[in-house]
Amino acid sequence: MAKILRLDELIGVADNMSDTANPKIDDIIQRIKDATTELAHVVANHYGINHGEASADEGIMVCFYPKTPEQPCPQPIHEADEQGDWEMK
């Protein structure tokens, strides 16, 4: 059997390593954030909604917002975060 880490867990392990272990860690995490923002852009365009920049504060995450106050939340976005708020930024 193997230990399986989700991306957020892997980033947490890498973040806790000393900078001398691999100075490329910050660059790699930035590229992951950039790719996440790019993916969020594709998803947001598909559903006609807005998105923010990816962050790595509590794992890699990105926020989605409606374009108008009355716009409903797309079902896949809602199902991914049922507790999150859906309001204009």
Low-confidence ranges of the chain (pLDDT < 70): 18-21
Q: Is residue 76 part of a domain?
A: yes
Q: How far apart are CA 52 and CA 41, in angstroms?
A: 9
Q: Answer whether residue 2 is part of any domain.
A: no
CB-based contact 74:58 (threshold 8 Å): no
Q: Global pTM?
A: 0.85
| Within-domain flag for 11 | yes
Whole domain around residue 40: which residue ranges?
A: 7-16+24-80
- Count of domains observed in the chain: 1
- Torsion angle, CA of 16/56/31/17, rounded to 10 degrees? 0
Does residue 1 lie within any of the structural domains? no
In a domain, 64, yes or no: yes
- Per-residue pLDDT of 6-19, as tens digits, reads 998 998 888 888 66
